[in-house]
Amino acid sequence: MAIALMTKMKLVGLSFHEDEILNALQKTECVELSEPEEIAETFLVSENEEISALTTDYNRIYKAIEFYEEQFERGKTIFIRPVTADGMKNFFVTYDEFTGIEKSRYKLMKAVSETEEYRKKLAEIKTENVKLNNELSALAPYKKVKDKFSDYADTELTSVFLGTVRKSVVEELKTAFSVHDGIYLEVVSDSDLCVVCSVALKGENAEIAAKILAEHGYSPCPFSGDFTAVQAETRIKSQIDAEEHEINRITKKICDSAENLKPLKIFCDYYKYLIEKKTDAEKFRHTGKTFVLEGYLPQGKEETVTAALKSVSEAIFIEYSEPDETDNVPTLTVNNAAVKQTEFITDLYSVPAYGEVDPNKSVFAFFMVFMGLIMADVGYGILMILLGTFLACRIKVDNGQRRLWYVIAIGGVFTVIFGLLFNSFFGVPMFSESLLPSPIPDGSGTDNLMKVLLGCLALGILHVASGYFLKAINCFKRKDVAGGIFDGLVWVLFFIGLVFACFNFILGYLLSEDGFNALNPDVTKFFDDMATPGLIMLVTALVIAALTAGRNEKGFGKVSKGFGAIYGIINLMSDILSYARLFGLMLSGMIIATTFNDIGGNLITGGGVGYVAGPLVIAVGHAFNIAMGVLGAYIHDSRLQYIEFFSKFYTGEGEKFTPLGSDTQFVYLTH
């Protein structure tokens, strides 16, 4: 069975041994804790006050790791010596290493505190840098002013105004000043933003000067010290350089302590486990000296769990039982190595619910056939196998990214198969004839287009019919016999009847008269004989579907549901037409491949630079085509699974089985 059967576990133990029991369960890697059933009022809800403190420390450790990795990346750009750090990527640790990291708590928390000081220092430097750069910007208009800013200070009898105005208003400003006695204006620096200096007698004249300047967009000089603009610029740049040196010093300090990163990552995940453990403990019920926990484990693991628990405490009571319909049982899928790679595709849509049919075998079969059909080229398939396998092998852990590359590699195998059937190697025929008709128009007509298109639609019929068959199995598993027959098998019967009724008609359309007559007479006679029974099956299935669609409704709903079932054939045929995208993607890929081959070939034939440009065009063109082809194949293939296939039977909405302590971010536990 692809979805593993689960066992429900209930445990009663002494509160004194609670932590050791949870550690033992984590080490087994096969128990997920759950919310307990309501228990007698003598039990109390656990209240754990440590979670807040643990979460605070966890966040500090996590930020420290982020800081280390930020500084390592910066170190790569500023140091000639390459920065290397053990533990920059995820890695495996033993269970003893994982739990033993607690012994290094003091050292690691000290490192965390140091990073916090460094972060604080860098934040201060950043703030100061913003201030200094603003000062540099403000100094820019005054760089041509040779005098010190203090030379423009007020005197006992006069007010001095030093600042900037736009060049466009300078003449207007001069005119405004010229009609007043007792005020004076000089343009000290002429540029897009002019520096002007106005001197006025204190009192009414100073007020007039200030008013005129304000009316013309005057900005007063923010500097007044005993220094020139050039001296100020030199000082500020020196400060910026000093702060940049301090930033580099901090980066080097962090890079020199690279050995801290790996234990910090272990420590971070250890804290994550402690938080999970304390959070799960809040689900328990307690008396003064005992606690009760519940969880789920795969069937067959009972002895392993019992032995692990008994090794830490004999004062426990364990009860195993079958889950019932009211239990929210997590889902653990068990598939072979090939099918396992496509599980993440199903999970992106929804995790299978416990007790329903696992769709992953069907998803694997159809996903790979569709991907192979879309790509359909031996050369592309070989590259997919090599690249997918190489990149998957570089990822040591079994995660979604690794599975994606394996999906591409396995899809490459099917691509090679369809490439052989369609006779294509990087868009070039390998044999004189292909086993399957090529969809590329060659001037001899478009019959092949229709043959391939109808073949894709036939695959769609098979895919959708399989969905209804799985719906029937799901209903039977839920003991809904009527649903399995009327909502599942009846529609399978409809598609079988459709194939029998239309088979010879479609072949007669696709093949010439000589080609049709050349077929095995027994085959054509069989489908001739089955045409009428097929039509009867098709009509019978529709009648049954219409009559039973409203079986669970009342009143007029029984009739309306029947009409809805018949009307639903339109949506069903629309679903089938969606599989034309397989044809479209395959055709576009083949045409692009041959087009780049023709362009490159013409360049090579032309000689000269064409000997270089031609192969380059062919290589780049095929690289583009395979990249876009794989992306399109993955997206549209997934769409056919999610919308056309899953909509017929898939419930989903399950919860993935996550054993206690397995949800780590940086490390992977091994025994």
pLDDT tens column, 641-670: 999 999 999 988 889 999 998 888 888 888
pLDDT of 489-545, one tens digit each? 999 999 988 888 887 666 665 555 555 454 556 666 776 777 788 888 888 888 888
Instruction: Give the model's pLDDT for residue 75.
Output: 84
CA distance 85 to 258: 5
Among 78-92, 251-265, 347-361, 445-459, the minimum mean pLDDT is found in 78-92
Mean confidence (pLDDT) of the chain: 87
Residue spans per domain, the chain: 147-227, 337-648
Q: Which ranges of 218-359 does DSSP label H, i.e. alpha helix? A: 229-256, 261-281, 302-310, 337-340, 343-349
* Mean pLDDT of all residues in 189-214: 90
Instruction: Give the model's pLDDT for residue 566.
Output: 78
200, 161 in Cβ contact below 8 A? yes
pLDDT of 427-451, one tens digit each? 888 887 778 877 776 544 445 777 7
Model confidence at 221: pLDDT above 60? yes
List CB contacts of 169: < 8 A, sequence separation 6 or more: 216, 217
The three-point CA angle 668-316-326 to 5° equals 75
Residue with tokens 């360049």: 603
**Model confidence band, residue 213 (pLDDT cutoffs 50, 70, 90):** very high
Model confidence at 87: pLDDT above 80? no
Model confidence at 100: pLDDT above 50? yes
Model confidence at 636: pLDDT above 80? yes
Topology of the domain covering 147-227: Alpha-Beta Plaits (3.30.70)
**Model confidence band, residue 34 (pLDDT cutoffs 50, 70, 90):** confident
**Model confidence band, residue 51 (pLDDT cutoffs 50, 70, 90):** confident
Instruction: Give the model's pLDDT for residue 48.
Output: 57
Among 84-93, 260-269, 408-417, the minimum mean pLDDT is found in 84-93
* Mean pLDDT of all residues in 194-211: 91
Instruction: Give the model's pLDDT for residue 42.
Output: 47
Model confidence at 371: pLDDT above 70? yes
Residue with tokens 């590699």: 409
* Mean pLDDT of all residues in 610-615: 87
Model confidence at 454: pLDDT above 50? yes
Instruction: Give the model's pLDDT for residue 444.
Output: 47
Instruction: Give the model's pLDDT for residue 265.
Output: 93
CA distance 31 to 29: 6
DSSP state of 76: H
CA distance 412 to 364: 13
589, 376 in Cβ contact below 8 A? yes
User: For residue 353, what are its two tokens?
Assistant: 């619910």
Model confidence at 452: pLDDT above 80? yes
Q: Of the candidates 564, 582, 590, which has an alpha carbon nearest to the alpha carbon of residue 463?
A: 582
Positive or negative: CA dihedral 296, 299, 303, 304: negative
Higher-pLDDT residue of 441 and 551 is 551
What ranges make up the beta strands (E) of 509-565? Answer: none
Instruction: Give the model's pLDDT for residue 432.
Output: 79
Instruction: Give the model's pLDDT for residue 391.
Output: 93
- Cα within 13 Å of Cα(539), Cβ side: 7
User: For residue 50, what are its two tokens?
Assistant: 């440590």
Instruction: Give the model's pLDDT for residue 445.
Output: 47
Side chain identity at residue 122, one-letter code: L
CA distance 480 to 482: 6
